[in-house]
Amino acid sequence: MIGLVIATLAMTASITLPWAASGRTVRSGWAIAGAAKRLDVANSFAAKALLVGFLLIPALAFVVWTAVALRHFAVATAAAGSAAVIDATAAWSVSVSPLQVRWGLIVNLLLLATQGVVIADALRRTTRQHRTT
């Protein structure tokens, strides 16, 4: 389960990498979320929920770490999965926008794929653990 913590922390850290550019300005995932919040471009409920969720990813990473430390693997897996879904949706939103994609977004997507494999393994282990108890 330590892999779940590492994968979630790596994915969370990749949010700080350069995701996109407009003109000469290069922005990280955090900067894009901050600009969207300041400019109030998240008009729909879904867009606002994505923005709030994106800003809560570090909190979800903390939940993963704490739940693994307390051996609550189902909670850790659920939190990691939630963070991955939110991050994947945000990454997709940036990739289909008119912004120029930068290398940080690609790194983030690769880390998401890795996290997906780790989450699948954690789900398998959690399910097996519940069957034996």
- The domain limits of the chain are 2-132
The per-residue pLDDT for range 49-95, each reduced to its tens digit, is 999 999 999 999 999 999 999 999 999 999 999 999 999 999 999 99
- Of residues 85, 80, 34, 77, the one with CA closest to residue 59: 80
What's the pTM?
0.86
Instruction: Determine the Cα–Cα distance for residues 130 and 133; give it in Å rounded to an integer.
Output: 5
